[in-house]
Structure 1
Amino acid sequence: MEKVTGIIREVSAAEIAPRFGQLADEDIEAKTHALDLVTIADTEAERVLTARLTDLLPGSIALGEESAHADPKLQDRAFAASDPVWIIDPVDGTKNFAHNRQPFRCMVGLYVAGETVAAWIVDPIEGTATVAEKGAGTRYQDNPVSVRSHITKASDAKGFLISYARDRLVSHYGHMDFFDTVAHYSCCGAEYEELARGDFDFCAYRTLKPWDHAPGTLLVREAGGYARYITADRNNEYNANTEAPGLLCASSEDLWSEMNEILLPLFS
């Protein structure tokens, strides 16, 4: 765990942090649409992380966000193989990064035998790290952290909702007055960190690419929270190799159940 944390910090310090606020126009490109950006920091950090992590664990393979964009069949091949898979999001929150805003994070998950078994989320500027290992809990800067498990009602909860959910809440119910506080960072990694550390209580997402959610969901689970798909089946646990209409993470099972009922009509 410590070796991987060190690698991510080193690569972030070399490939991401020096480029923050220093990108030229030619260093930024659009992928699928104008708001789906990639920068030279994304591609270079992923290239180096791929090499160093697969070297650290012989026989492993890498599934990086930018490599998967270049090769649409890479994800299927990676999950079909029996090898350990490093799931890499070199710059989570690229839109923030490209526009000289924070937060953004570097995220890595290790997927073995059908499940995420380790996760790292690192702030490339500060070097702070939130990490989790299956069965061993979640730690922030080497100190154990946990979710706010005493929050059991949506009216007491602070959380993160994407614009898709916020718009449809208003359209479907006529208001969004279910929660104490709703925020949106445009950075899954930072949102997952704050949920796992007990600063917020829930987060919900629609686009479920493995690099966006495999690391963060393990952080939340190992901190005592829940990560399940927004479906009528309340035991439908998140897995990086599965698709669903939406994903909901919450700090307690009661909160997850109430929020699932609220969000289910919007994501079905």
Structure 2
Amino acid sequence: MDKVTEIIREVSATEIAPRFGQLDDADIDIKTHALDLVTIADTEAERVLTARLTDLLPGSLALGEEAAHADPKLQDKVFAGTAPFWIIDPVDGTKNFAHHRQPFRCMVGLYYGGETVAAWIVDPIEGAATVAEKGAGTCYQGQPVSVRSDITKARDAKGFLISYARDRIRKHYGHLDFFDDVAHYSCCGAEYEEMARGAYDFCAYRTLKPWDHAPGTLLVREAGGFARYIMSDKDNEYNANATAPGLLCASSEDLWHEINEILLPLFS
């Protein structure tokens, strides 16, 4: 676990941090639409992380965000196999990074035996790391952390909602007054960190790519929280190799159920 943390910090320090605020137009490209950006930091960090992590664990594979964009069949291929593989989001929050804004994070998950078994989220500028191993809890900078499990009502909860959710809550219910406070960082990794460390109580997402959510959901779960799909089906536990209309993480089970009822008509 410590070796992976060291690798992510080193790659972040050499491939990501020096490029923050130093990008030229030629260093930024558009993938699927104007808000879906990729930078030279994304591609170079993913290239080096892929090489170093697969070398660290012989026989392992890698599923990186940029590699999956280049090869649409890659995701299905690695999930169909039996080899362990690294799920890599080299720069989560690329839009922030490209516009010289924070936060942004480097995220890695290790998937094996049908589940995410380890996760790392690292701040490329500060080097601060939030790390989780299945069954061993979540740590921030080497110290155990936990969610605010005493928050059981939405009216007492602070959380992160994407604009899709905020807009539809307002349209459907006429207000956003269900919650104590709602924020949005445009960086899943930083939002998952805040949840796992007890600063926020829930987060909800619609686009469920493995690299965006596999690391963060493990951090939340190992910190005592819940990560489930927004649906009425009882078999709704998050797995990186599944799809659903949306994903909701919450710091307590009661809180999860209340917010799921609020969001369910909007994500069906």
TM-score category, normalised to shorter length: over 0.9
Alignment of 1:172-251 (within 5 A): 172-251=172-251
Q: What secondary structure is seen at the aligned counterpart in 2 of 1:152?
A: coil
Residue type of the alignment partner of 2:233:
D
**Counterpart-to-counterpart distance in 1, 2:233 and 2:47:** 39
**Residue 64 (structure 2) pairs with residue 64 (structure 1):** yes
Structure 2 CA distance for aligned equivalents of residues 237 and 131 of structure 1: 21
Match of 1:163 in 2: 163
Aligned-pair CA distance for 1:234: 4.0
For residues 185-219 of structure 1, the C-alpha deviation after alignment (integer angstroms, 9 at most, x for no partner) is 00000000000000000000000000000000000
Conserved? CA contact 1:228–1:234, under 8 Å: no
Paired AA for residue 202 in structure 2: F
Question: Equivalent residues in 2 for 1:1-268 (5 A)?
Answer: 1-268=1-268
Offset of residue 155 of structure 1:
0.1
Residue identity matched to 1:57: L
- TM-score w.r.t. length of structure 1: 1.00
CA contact (8 A) 1:109 1:118 kept: yes
Q: How far did 1:143 drift?
A: 0.1
Distance 1:267 1:175 in 2: 17
Whether the aligned pair in 2 keeps the contact of 1:63 and 1:75 (CA below 8 Å) is yes
Q: Which structure 2 segments of 5+ residues have no match?
A: none
**In structure 1, how many angstroms separate the alpha carbons of the residues matched to 2:204 and 2:35?**
20
Unpaired segments of 5 or more residues in structure 1?
none
Aligned equivalents of 2:56, 2:253: Cα separation in 1:
37
One-letter amino acid of the counterpart of residue 51, structure 2: A
Question: SS at 1:265's partner residue?
Answer: helix
1:250 shift after superposition: 0.1
CA drift of 1:235 comes to: 4.1
Cα deviation, residue 163, structure 1: 0.2
Give the counterpart letter for 1:52 in structure 2.
Answer: R
Q: Distance in 1 between matches of 2:35 and 2:113?
A: 34
Q: How many angstroms apart in 1 are the aligned matches of 2:204 and 2:118? A: 21
Q: State the alpha-carbon separation in 2 of the partners of residues 47 and 30 from structure 1.
A: 19
Structure 1 distance, partners of 2:58, 2:244, is 32
Query: Residue 155 of structure 1 aligns to which amino acid in structure 2?
Result: R
CA contact (8 A) 1:234 1:257 kept: no
Please give the alpha-carbon distance, in whole angstroms, between the structure 2 residues aligned to 1:125 and 1:267: 35
2-structure distance, mates of 1:40, 1:111: 26
After TM superposition, where is structure 1 displaced by more than 3 Å over at least 4 residues in a row?
none
CA distance in 2, matches of 1:122, 1:177: 33
Q: CA deviation at 1:233?
A: 1.8
Aligned residues: 268
Give the root-mean-square deviation of aligned CA atoms: 0.4
Kindly indicate whether the alpha-carbon contact (under 8 Å) linking 1:227 and 1:247 is maintained by their aligned counterparts in 2: yes
Alignment partner of 2:227: what SS? Answer: strand
* 3-state secondary structure, aligned to 1:117: strand
Q: Is the 8 A contact 1:154 1:258 kept in 2?
A: yes
2:239 alignment partner AA:
N
8 Å Cα contact 1:92/1:188 also seen in 2: yes
How far residue 25 of structure 1 moved from its aligned partner, in angstroms, is: 0.2
